[in-house]
């Protein structure tokens, strides 16, 4: 389990995570987040550092872009169902925005591919349910994260979201199962690229394996879309890895939370 299946227990756990966060003062409007997707015991605090920034925010649709861990398919899948459900309630899918996104066909299709057993979207939802109200979601899973698909999705989202009340979320962990010191060095490459708002540099570093992120494609697509929508800054809010949580540093997984802002 990535989080408790009981409503009350989950509600209390997310509250406890938020209470641990010292809210960071940032300049500008948050238009996107990068958030990890491991079990809450490992990455929940890191994720909470990002979601606390959204408290009091009004947004109509949250677009969540995730990798596919269990199912490979060519292209990009926008959830074809009507809603996602968590112990905290049901979140309706924005079917109008979905129709706009898939209208031109191509690699972006409405389907169930990648959504049946994928956790990377579901892990984000309870956080969103605690800080936002009256919003819909648009769940997107990338079955193939090749460069041209990242760019196509980012540009398409940037086009259809102009003038709309929307938030972008990229779901990703960083390096996987390296010794602690090596993991920190790999993850620092991602941090540097993000702080420079360098989506092209990040693509290169992922392609050449100078860095790792299981949701590297979703991150790049989100950065491209955010830049199209006027974003001008990325601020890393929190970084850690599983070794910091468990004390076992033989093979760790990296977690990062970052905010993408405009008007900063």
* C-alpha dist (Å) from residue 122 to 91, 118, 137, 203: 11, 8, 11, 25
Write down the pLDDT at residue 27.
Answer: 85
Mean pLDDT of 77-103: 97
Full residue range of the structural domain in which residue 219 is found: 7-173+214-242+253-262
Q: Is residue 155 part of a domain?
A: yes
For residue 105, is pLDDT > 80?
Answer: no
For residue 263, is pLDDT > 90?
Answer: no
Q: What is the CATH number of the domain that holds 63?
A: 3.40.830.10
Mean pLDDT of 44-55: 97
Q: Is residue 69 part of a domain?
A: yes
The burial class, CB within 10 Å (0-12 / 13-18 / 19+), for 71 is middle
For residue 180, is pLDDT > 90?
Answer: yes
* 192 Cβ neighbours under 8 A, 6+ residues apart: none
The predicted-structure confidence for 215-226, as pLDDT tens digits, reads as follows: 999 999 999 999
Give the pLDDT band (50/70/90) at residue 239.
Answer: very high
Question: What pTM was computed for the model?
Answer: 0.96
Counting the structural domains of the chain, the total is 1
Write down the pLDDT at residue 88.
Answer: 97
Write down the pLDDT at residue 104.
Answer: 83
The predicted-structure confidence for 55-87, as pLDDT tens digits, reads as follows: 989 999 999 999 999 888 889 999 999 999 999
* C-alpha dist (Å) from residue 232 to 174, 183, 224, 260: 23, 28, 11, 8
Q: Is residue 209 part of a domain?
A: no
For residue 107, is pLDDT > 80?
Answer: yes
The predicted-structure confidence for 133-143, as pLDDT tens digits, reads as follows: 999 999 999 99
Q: Is residue 55 part of a domain?
A: yes
């Amino acid at each position: 389990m990535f989080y408790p299946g009981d409503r009350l227990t989950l509600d209390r756990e997310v509250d406890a995570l938020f209470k641990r966060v010292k809210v960071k003062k940032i300049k500008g409007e948050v238009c996107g987040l990068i958030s990890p997707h491991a079990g809450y015991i490992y990455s929940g605090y890191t994720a909470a550092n990002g979601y606390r920034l959204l408290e009091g925010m009004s947004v109509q649709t949250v677009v969540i872009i995730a990798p596919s861990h269990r199912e490979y398919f060519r292209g990009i899948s926008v959830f074809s169902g009507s809603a996602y459900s968590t112990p905290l309630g049901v979140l309706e899918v924005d079917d109008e925005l979905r129709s706009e996104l898939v209208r031109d066909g191509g690699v972006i299709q409405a389907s169930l591919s990648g959504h049946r057993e994928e956790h990377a979207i579901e892990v984000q939802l309870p956080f969103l349910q605690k800080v936002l109200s009256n919003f819909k979601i648009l769940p997107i899973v990338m079955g193939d994260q090749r460069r041209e698909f990242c760019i196509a999705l980012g540009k398409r989202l940037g086009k259809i979201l102009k003038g709309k009340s929307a938030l972008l979320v990229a779901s990703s962990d960083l390096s996987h199962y390296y010794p602690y010191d090596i993991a920190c060095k790999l993850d620092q490459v991602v941090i540097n690229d993000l702080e420079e708002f360098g989506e092209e540099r990040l693509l290169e570093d992922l392609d050449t394996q100078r860095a790792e992120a299981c949701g590297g494609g979703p991150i790049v697509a989100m950065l491209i879309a955010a830049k199209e929508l006027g974003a001008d800054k990325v601020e890393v809010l929190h970084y850690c890895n599983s070794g910091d949580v468990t004390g076992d540093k033989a093979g760790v997984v990296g977690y990062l939370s970052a905010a993408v802002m405009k008007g900063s």
